[in-house]
């Protein structure tokens, strides 16, 4: 066991974190990202970090990489050409989707529906049928489907998806078609819906499986390129990829099921934030990752909450999302960030933020790259939250352009430029709180019992204000947001889930049947871990059942111990009643139904130790780099500016204060204080606390 | 301090009037608005997770609102006029009370048939009434003679289902389980109703908690002033919108509901719209008298105002946040004893067709003078399929599904194929239906050529094929099997819907659009084909590439591409541009200029060809009888309250 390297490729910077497993030492590096070919920036970073650690590149044993290449393919509509095989009668499964149009009433008038990821022209029907219990109703017409696959291959389809009705109950026909496809078109990668999502609801399963095929060429190309670049640079390290659920997997596994990478980016942030929060002694945290165009929030208790549906917005439409049902860190994404544009519709004269965004180009007006629309970042500049020098002096912000942009909004609603800027910040904060409330209160948690980890480019600017509205203390601001993700990469464990639909009420099945089925899944999980090189005691298998009242719409995951379960269902049923009561304040007198069974395979990796510095004196004046006027609630306050690199453990920074570092800025409000802990995090509390 | 608290508790119910004058800045207003929106989505989320009936949890047939102390909607998805309910309630309503009803006649049409169970809850903060939350959801069944409680042959509301007058389901936080037991003993799947009802209550409580949080954050006076300012803002926006888009000269529009389920029809609905000063007038004079059958739609005027507002907003400026603030700008006249304001005890259960149709006529009349905002007709109906019986285990089942049709062509785009006109509704997955009910879904697809042709194409209707595996009964609710979904600005009418049963012996039976007690046996298959939506603009001007794409996607046939779009394609669907140009010129010269509305042939001709074209007998002309109004029962003040007061004294 030697060196592990975490790599996070962001829009601006590539962050690397090298970890020596024996000594627990870590080294960091930061290089500019190279969007045209990300591996260039990655290699530059590797050289830098190896130099700092004084090791040669071939000393690195494993590299862990969080990637957004799959997500970007979806957002930009640049995935591969997918062929889809459905059961006869269902060729329009993606075209019709669930038939939903947006609210409110007459929302259909403004809906724009993007074309499906598998075109109707590239969709064919198989003559076959299973019933919902997995019994064959009609045999597969093999000659017919063979000819159709031939046709798809000739038309230039790059990736094939097979998604048949009721395959969740029996995948035999899907597998047979896959075998035929291997004969007819051996080079065509095939995704069977059963392998990706063996659960009922045909549209969601098909959409998820098709998306897997859609991003497959992009992910495959990207990972191969990276692997070969690493090899030619004489690296011997094994490349692992961070999954959406915060676990690790090999490149081969990622190529097979790239749909598991869709939330790879956010999961690195959450994993890293949790790692830090646990170190600080706050296992119960909400994470708040605010970037340029969107913001991710999540709620976690000790470990990352895992959700099983991800809503991905597509490039073509803001009011249509794809419900992708794979396990991922349970983040809620809202389309508001530093680049969101403020505007005032003529009829209402209301101040609205987003959904339009200035993006990276032209970006906010203050970037001086031609943008004139007022963004959240411009409002932060106008109020002095963001001093004119950013990025360690490399980039200057144009205050005049920011003011001119925000003034357009102020004029429209009759407020001066500062009040308008303040308004933009307040409204965007309110949207953020809405998202935080949905992950906390809606799930029966009181946000006051949770700390808040603020990161991302804009998170530390807004974190203090959110903490105040939500009553969530402390607000933890870890150093360098990119490093946080890289830290998440190296601190993650191997993880994979194996789930199948079961759908029996407890009076219609026996504990023996459930244990048999779930043990089968456990074996799969163990085999997967073995194939990833994790054996023996490093393997941990956890079991869950998704349970609900008969015919209820959504399930609650309940942890299961197979040995105890053999003695009877009542502990499982009682735990379900208790959980339901806590979340929804009522129980029902109907049968309890097991819907899905799940085995989660976890491969332990060596725990990271963070360097800990002893706390010194509280006075931070050695870190003061200047002073600056900042607008808070109607008045300008003289505000000290601190250099984060010079802050050391034990320092207490009194608000109002601004703390600068290379790629983010922390704002501490008046009547609040920032305490620097042993790991160099800033913990913001109300002054009296 | 204690004294002050006591005083606060005795504060008058109408808190808005007693509010201190608070000046509200626009930013606080916007923050409150955002918070209200968040609260409303939390209500939905709570309901979806906990409800049981497929109509609520899978299809989202539910409507939340948050209102001010006067009962006016601040945020919501459909709205209801709560004032009509609480103002006529016989007892004082206090903190911890939850009002429950399903009777349209006893809440002024806030809900419009007995299947919609409505919860209304006051929100108190520090002893003061600060608002209301409310939500209703469509129950799978609410008792009465037929499963799912929408009898097509009912002639009064007494023959439809269980009526629940407004009462306190909870009083001071305590459940009235006696009343609830009586109610649940009268429905077919009591546990399902119970769960859905509790889910509605839980969702309303969530909304109420958020409003109390806002009062704590901003202070009650600021919160209330903020809500009033939000209403004023919508009032101002709608004022300028109305003066821009509603002409002073009266515009009328009429359309039909095909039949009443008892063999009579079609029934006419008519509206005339004009503006005088700032105010818009909507007059429904000319609408047919009420029907003896259950298609009457008891339309609440406030609800109608909201429909009108939403329509104007969505066509002209979707950024406006919708609330009740603009109601004084709209004046409604619906003559009594008509389809839209029937006398008690007219039957109401199948009101869904008229509910949809009035959106079509509103759209038609509002945009007659501004055709660039018109859309094709799309509110064919809200097609229902109900299948009930006993499964192989001898267990009662009752499947209930709301289907979709085509979405109209819009001024800027095609209509979607087979999507929902209702906001946020979703279809029922075949795998879910097959898991829970003895049936297979053999096909779920849109119907080629069923959408009206146009520069923008109307959406295709749907075909769903149900293969039944157990003996049982089927009910159907649908419309637009006779009259057409019209096209606009040169766009064409769409294909009508039809339903047929393919019996296990291979014979075909056409099924009426509104019927109960259709006996089905294992192996029988129901083909349920819904109507397409109307097209927009001249189909001869549609870009050939878009026509070609539809043909390649099997959404339009090569024949229709040729005959209606004038596009000539070869066997590989490559466009012959030369032949197309010629054919288009040819069709244009024969056809003449494009019509503003394509409604299909005159009604008399439609009726004459009915049997030949639809396989069904034409409906008989409606017979309108003199209707005597029966008084509506008014609940008496609660005895328990009096007893309680006495005991306290």
Token reading at A20 = 């020596």
User: CB-based contact (8 Å) between A200 and chain B?
Assistant: yes
- pLDDT at residue A622, as a whole number: 92
| H helix runs in A77-171, sequence order | 93-96, 142-155
DSSP H or E segment with residue A581: helix A570-584
So what's the ipTM on this one?
0.91
User: CB-based contact (8 Å) between B444 and chain A?
Assistant: yes
- Tell me the pairing of strands A451-455 and A284-290: parallel
Residues 156-185 of A with CB under 8 A from B: 165-166, 168
Non-local CB neighbours of A235 within 8 Å, separated by 6+ positions? A46, A57, A58, A60, A63
Find, in chain B, the residue whose alpha carbon is nearest to that of A427. Answer: B31
**Tens of pLDDT, residues A459-471:** 999 999 999 999 9
Q: Is the pLDDT of residue B2 over 80?
A: no
Q: List the B279-283 sheet strands across, edge first.
A: B251-257, B267-276, B279-283, B330-333
B206 vs A contacts (CB less than 8 Å)? 441-442
Question: What pairs with residue B575 in β-bridges?
Answer: B569
**Coarse DSSP helix, strand, coil percentages of chain A, rounded to the nearest 5 percent:** 40, 30, 35
Minimum mean pLDDT among A28-42, A509-523, B409-423, B540-554: which range?
Answer: A28-42
Rounded to whole angstroms, the Cα distance separating A678 from A18 reads: 20
* CATH no. of A494-603: 3.30.1490
Q: Would you state the torsion angle of the CA atoms of residues A426, A428, A434, A439, taken in this order, to the nearest 10 degrees?
A: -120
Location of structure tokens 């429904």: B284
Q: Which one of A103, A427, A552 has the shortest CB-CB distance to B423?
A: A103
Cβ pair B320:A93 closer than 8 A: no
CATH architecture of A3-73+220-264: 2-Layer Sandwich (3.30)
Q: Is the pLDDT of residue B99 over 90?
A: yes
Residues 459-478 of B with CB under 8 A from A: 462, 465
**Tens of pLDDT, residues A333-345:** 787 888 899 998 8
Handedness of CA A442, A444, A447, A450 (dihedral sign): negative
Closest to B121 (Cα-Cα) out of B162, B156, B80, B155: B80
Rounded to whole angstroms, the Cα distance separating A27 from A9 reads: 17
Task: Give the distance from residue B45's alpha carbon to the nearest chain A alpha carbon, in angstroms.
Answer: 8
Question: What pairs with residue B270 in β-bridges?
Answer: B254
- CB A417, CB B20: distance < 8 Å: no
- Cβ-in-10-Å burial (0-12, 13-18, 19+) of B254 comes to middle
Token reading at A83 = 């062929």
Cβ pair B419:A419 closer than 8 A: no
Q: Provide mean pLDDT across the span A510-536.
A: 92
**pLDDT, greater one: B281 or B107:** B281
- In this prediction, what percent of chain A has a pLDDT beyond 70? 95
Token reading at A635 = 């008045």
Mutate which: B310, B419, B525, B533, vs A, most A CBs within 10 A: B419
Q: Provide mean pLDDT across the span B25-47.
A: 84
**pLDDT, greater one: A258 or A291:** A258
- CB A500, CB A475: distance < 8 Å: no
Cβ pair A103:B424 closer than 8 A: yes
pLDDT band, very low/low/confident/very high, at B9 (cuts 50, 70, 90): very low
A414 vs B contacts (CB less than 8 Å)? 26
Closest to A82 (Cα-Cα) out of A150, A141, A148, A162: A162
Minimum mean pLDDT among A333-342, B456-465, B558-567: which range?
Answer: A333-342
Average predicted confidence (pLDDT) for chain B: 90
Rounded to whole angstroms, the Cα distance separating B51 from A580 reads: 12
Find, in chain A, the residue whose alpha carbon is nearest to that of B447. Answer: A92
Rounded to whole angstroms, the Cα distance separating B345 from A611 reads: 79
Rounded to whole angstroms, the Cα distance separating B564 from B556 reads: 10
Minimum mean pLDDT among A103-107, A440-444, B52-56, B505-509: which range?
Answer: A440-444
Rounded to whole angstroms, the Cα distance separating B568 from B581 reads: 9
pTM of the model: 0.88
Token reading at A605 = 């990796």
Location of structure tokens 């590439």: B545
Q: Residue B82 phi/psi, 5° resolution?
A: -75, -25
Mutate which: B96, B141, B232, B431, vs A, most A CBs within 10 A: B431
Residues 50-69 of B with CB under 8 A from A: 50-54, 57-58
Token reading at A604 = 């332990």
- CB A162, CB A202: distance < 8 Å: no
Cβ pair A349:B26 closer than 8 A: yes
Radius of gyration of chain B (CA): 26
A550 vs B contacts (CB less than 8 Å)? 52
Token reading at A678 = 């042993």
- pLDDT at residue B42, as a whole number: 83
Q: Provide mean pLDDT across the span A103-109.
A: 83
Location of structure tokens 């959801």: B137
Distances (CA, A) of B144 to B62, B149, B183: 22, 6, 12
User: CB-based contact (8 Å) between A422 and chain B?
Assistant: yes
Per this entry, what is the length of chain A? 689
Q: Is the pLDDT of residue A1 over 70?
A: no
Cβ pair A553:B38 closer than 8 A: no
Residues 193-222 of B with CB under 8 A from A: 194-195, 198-199, 202, 205-206, 209-210, 217
Q: Provide mean pLDDT across the span A671-688.
A: 94
Rounded to whole angstroms, the Cα distance separating A598 from A325 reads: 14
Q: Which one of B41, B206, B442 has the shortest CB-CB distance to A89?
A: B442
The crossing angle, in degrees rounded to 10, of helices B177-184 and B190-218 is 140
pLDDT band, very low/low/confident/very high, at B317 (cuts 50, 70, 90): confident
Token reading at B100 = 């429950």
- CB A447, CB A656: distance < 8 Å: no
Q: Provide mean pLDDT across the span B391-413.
A: 93
Distances (CA, A) of B543 to A684, B372, B455: 60, 19, 8
Neighbours of A643 (CB within 10 A): 16
- pLDDT at residue B469, as a whole number: 98
Rounded to whole angstroms, the Cα distance separating B543 from B522 reads: 48
- Tell me the pairing of strands A475-477 and A451-455: parallel
Rounded to whole angstroms, the Cα distance separating B304 from B290 reads: 18
Find, in chain A, the residue whose alpha carbon is nearest to that of B423. Answer: A103
Q: Provide mean pLDDT across the span B472-476.
A: 98
Where do the structural domains in chain A lie, given as residue ranges?
A: 3-73+220-264, 78-214, 293-447, 494-603, 621-686
A554 vs B contacts (CB less than 8 Å)? 48-49, 57
* CATH no. of A78-214: 3.40.50
Angle at A488 between CA A487 and CA A493, to 5 degrees: 120
Rounded to whole angstroms, the Cα distance separating B444 from B425 reads: 17
Terminal-to-terminal C-alpha distance of chain A:
44
- CB B71, CB B82: distance < 8 Å: yes
Cβ pair B314:A109 closer than 8 A: yes
Question: What pairs with residue B536 in β-bridges?
Answer: B456, B488
Task: Give the distance from residue B456's alpha carbon to the nearest chain A alpha carbon, in angstroms.
Answer: 13
Rounded to whole angstroms, the Cα distance separating A632 from A636 reads: 6
B432 vs A contacts (CB less than 8 Å)? 200-201
pLDDT band, very low/low/confident/very high, at B122 (cuts 50, 70, 90): very high
Listing DSSP states for B400-454 in one string gives: EEE--BPPPPBTTBPPPSSB-SSTT--PPPHHHHHHHSSEEEEEEEEPTT-SPPS
Residues 73-132 of A with CB under 8 A from B: 88-93, 95-96, 98-113, 119-121, 129, 131-132
Residues 311-330 of B with CB under 8 A from A: 311, 314-315, 317-322
Task: Give the distance from residue A149's alpha carbon to the nearest chain B alpha carbon, in angstroms.
Answer: 18
Find, in chain A, the residue whose alpha carbon is nearest to that of B427. Answer: A98
DSSP H or E segment with residue B603: helix B603-608
Radius of gyration of chain A (CA): 26
Listing DSSP states for A134-154 in one string gives: S-EEE---HHHHHHHHHHHHH
* 3-state secondary structure (DSSP) of residue B52: coil
Rounded to whole angstroms, the Cα distance separating A287 from A439 reads: 10
Q: Is the pLDDT of residue B643 over 60?
A: no
**Tens of pLDDT, residues B409-453:** 999 999 999 999 988 888 999 999 999 899 999 999 999 999 999
Query: Half-sphere exposure of B625 toward its Cβ, with a 13 Å CA cutoff?
Result: 9
């Amino acid at each position: 066991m030697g060196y592990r390297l975490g790599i996070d490729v962001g829009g601006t910077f590539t962050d690397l974190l090298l970890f020596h497993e024996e000594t627990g030492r870590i080294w960091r590096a930061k290089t500019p990202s190279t969007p045209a070919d990300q591996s260039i920036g990655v290699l530059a970073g590797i050289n830098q970090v190896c130099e700092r650690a004084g090791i040669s590149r071939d000393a690195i044993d494993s590299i862990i990489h969080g990637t957004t290449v799959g997500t970007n393919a979806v957002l930009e509509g640049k995935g591969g050409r997918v062929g889809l095989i459905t059961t006869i009668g269902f060729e329009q499964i993606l075209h019709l989707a669930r038939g939903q149009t947006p609210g409110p009433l007459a929302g259909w008038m403004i809906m724009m529906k993007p074309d499906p990821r598998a075109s109707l022209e590239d969709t064919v029907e198989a003559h076959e049928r299973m019933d919902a219990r997995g019994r064959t109703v009609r045999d597969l017409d093999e000659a017919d489907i063979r000819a159709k696959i031939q046709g798809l291959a000739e038309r230039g389809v790059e990736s094939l998806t097979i998604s048949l009705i009721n395959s969740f109950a029996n995948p035999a026909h899907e597998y047979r078609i896959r075998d035929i496809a291997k004969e007819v078109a051996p080079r065509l990668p095939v995704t069977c819906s059963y392998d990706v999502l063996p659960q009922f609801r045909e549209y969601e399963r098909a959409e998820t499986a098709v998306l897997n095929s859609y991003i497959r060429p992009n992910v495959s190309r990207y990972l191969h390129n990276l692997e070969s670049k690493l090899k030619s640079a004489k690296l011997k390290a094994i490349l692992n990829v961070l999954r959406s659920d915060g676990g690790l997997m090999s490149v081969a596994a990622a190529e097979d099921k790239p749909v598991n990478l869709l939330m790879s980016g956010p999961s690195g942030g959450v994993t890293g934030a949790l790692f830090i929060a646990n170190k600080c002694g706050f296992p119960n945290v909400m994470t708040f990752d605010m970037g340029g165009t969107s913001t991710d929030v999540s709620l976690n208790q000790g470990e990352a909450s895992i959700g099983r549906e991800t809503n991905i917005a597509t490039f073509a439409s803001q009011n249509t999302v794809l419900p992708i049902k794979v396990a991922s860190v349970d983040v809620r994404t809202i389309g508001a960030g530093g680049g969101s544009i403020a505007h005032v519709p003529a009829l209402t004269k209301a101040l609205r933020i987003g959904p339009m965004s200035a993006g990276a180009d032209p970006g906010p007006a203050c970037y001086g790259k031609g943008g004139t629309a007022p963004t959240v970042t411009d409002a932060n500049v106008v109020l002095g939250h963001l001093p004119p020098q950013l990025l360690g002096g490399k980039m200057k912000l144009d205050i005049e352009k920011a003011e001119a942009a925000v003034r357009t909004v102020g004029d429209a609603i009759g407020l001066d430029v500062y009040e308008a800027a303040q308004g933009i910040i307040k409204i965007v904060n309110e949207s953020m709180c809405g998202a935080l409330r949905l992950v906390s209160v809606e799930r029966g948690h009181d946000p006051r019992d949770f700390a808040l980890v603020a990161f991302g480019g804009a998170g530390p600017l807004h974190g203090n204000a959110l903490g105040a509205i939500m009553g969530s203390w402390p607000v933890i601001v870890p150093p360098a947001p990119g490093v946080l993700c890289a830290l998440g990469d190296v601190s993650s464990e191997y993880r994979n889930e194996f789930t199948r639909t079961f759908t029996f009420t407890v009076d219609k099945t026996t504990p023996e049947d459930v244990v048999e089925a779930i043990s089968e899944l456990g074996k799969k999980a163990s085999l997967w871990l073995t194939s990833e090189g994790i054996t023996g005691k490093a393997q941990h298998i956890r079991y869950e059942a998704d349970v609900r009242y008969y015919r209820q719409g959504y399930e609650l995951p309940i942890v299961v111990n197979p040995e105890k379960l053999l003695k009877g269902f009542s502990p499982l049923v009682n735990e379900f009643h208790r959980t339901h009561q806590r979340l929804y304040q009522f129980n029902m007198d109907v049968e309890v139904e097991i819907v899905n069974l799940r085995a989660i395979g976890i491969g332990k990796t060596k725990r990271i130790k963070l360097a800990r510095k002893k706390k010194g004196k509280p006075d931070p004046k050695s870190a003061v780099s200047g002073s600056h006027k900042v607008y808070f609630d109607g008045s300008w306050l003289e505000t000290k500016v601190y250099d984060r690199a010079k802050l050391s453990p034990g320092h207490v920074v009194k608000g109002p204060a601004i703390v600068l570092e290379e790629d983010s800025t922390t704002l501490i409000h008046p009547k609040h204080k920032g305490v620097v802990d042993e790991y160099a995090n800033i913990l913001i509390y109300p002054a009296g606390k | 301090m204690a004294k002050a608290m006591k005083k606060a508790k005795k504060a008058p119910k109408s808190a808005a009037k007693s509010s201190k004058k608070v000046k509200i800045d626009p930013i606080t207003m916007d923050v409150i608005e955002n918070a209200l929106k968040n609260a409303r989505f939390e209500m939905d989320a709570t309901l979806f997770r906990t409800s049981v009936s497929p109509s609520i949890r899978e299809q989202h047939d539910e409507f939340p609102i948050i209102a001010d102390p006067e009962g006016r909607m601040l945020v919501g998805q459909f709205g209801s006029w709560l004032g009509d309910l609480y103002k006529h309630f016989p007892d004082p309503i206090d903190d911890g009370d939850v009002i429950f009803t399903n009777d349209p006649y006893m809440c002024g049409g806030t809900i419009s048939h007995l299947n919609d169970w409505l919860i209304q809850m006051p929100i108190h903060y520090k002893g003061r009434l600060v608002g209301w939350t409310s939500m209703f959801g469509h129950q799978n069944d609410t008792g009465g003679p037929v499963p799912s409680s929408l009898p097509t042959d009912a002639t009064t509301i007494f023959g439809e289902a269980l009526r629940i007058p407004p009462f306190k389901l909870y009083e001071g936080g305590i459940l009235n389980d006696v009343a609830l037991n009586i109610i649940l003993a009268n429905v077919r799947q009591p546990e399902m109703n119970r769960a859905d009802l509790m889910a509605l209550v839980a969702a309303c409580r969530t909304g109420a908690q958020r409003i109390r949080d806002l009062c704590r954050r901003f202070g009650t006076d600021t919160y209330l002033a903020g809500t009033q300012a939000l209403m004023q803002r919508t009032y101002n926006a709608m004022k300028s919108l109305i003066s821009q888009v509603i002409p002073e000269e009266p515009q009328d529009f009429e359309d039909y509901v095909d039949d009443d389920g008892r063999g009579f029809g079609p029934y006419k609905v008519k509206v005339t719209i004009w503006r005088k000063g700032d105010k818009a007038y909507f007059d429904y004079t000319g609408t047919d008298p009420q029907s003896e059958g259950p298609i009457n739609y008891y339309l609440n005027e406030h609800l109608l105002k909201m429909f009108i507002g939403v329509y104007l907003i969505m066509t002209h400026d979707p950024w406006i946040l919708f609330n009740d603030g603009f109601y004084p700008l709209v004046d409604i006249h619906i003559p009594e004893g008509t389809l839209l304001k029937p006398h008690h005890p007219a039957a109401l259960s199948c009101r869904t067709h008229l509910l949809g149709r009035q959106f079509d006529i509103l759209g038609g009349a509002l945009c007659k003078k501004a055709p660039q905002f018109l859309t094709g007709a799309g509110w064919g109906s809200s097609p229902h399929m109900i299948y009930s019986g006993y499964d192989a285990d001898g267990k009662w089942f009752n499947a209930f599904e709301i289907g979709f049709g085509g979405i109209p062509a819009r001024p800027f785009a095609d209509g979607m194929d087979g999507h929902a006109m209702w906001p946020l509704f979703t279809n029922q997955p075949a795998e879910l239906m097959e898991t829970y009910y003895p049936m297979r879904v053999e096909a779920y697809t849109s119907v080629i050529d069923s959408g009206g042709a146009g520069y923008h194409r109307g959406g295709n209707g749907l075909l769903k094929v149900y293969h039944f595996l157990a003996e049982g009964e089927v009910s159907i609710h649908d419309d637009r099997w006779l009259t057409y979904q019209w096209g606009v600005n040169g766009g064409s009418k769409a294909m009508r819907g039809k339903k047929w049963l393919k019996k296990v012996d291979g014979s075909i039976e056409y099924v009426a659009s509104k019927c109960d007690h259709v006996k089905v046996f294992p192996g029988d298959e129901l083909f349920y084909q819904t109507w397409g939506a109307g097209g927009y603009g001249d189909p001869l001007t549609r870009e050939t590439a878009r026509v070609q794409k539809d043909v390649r996607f099997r959404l339009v046939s090569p024949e229709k591409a040729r005959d209606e779009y004038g596009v000539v394609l070869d066997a590989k669907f490559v466009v012959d541009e030369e032949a197309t140009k010629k054919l288009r010129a040819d069709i244009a010269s024969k056809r003449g200029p494009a019509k503003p509305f394509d409604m299909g042939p005159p009604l008399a001709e439609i009726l004459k060809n009915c049997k030949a074209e639809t396989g069904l007998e034409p409906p008989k002309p409606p017979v309108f009888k003199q209707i005597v109004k029966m008084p509506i029962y008014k609940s008496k003040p609660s005895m328990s309250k009096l007893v309680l007061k006495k005991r306290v004294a």
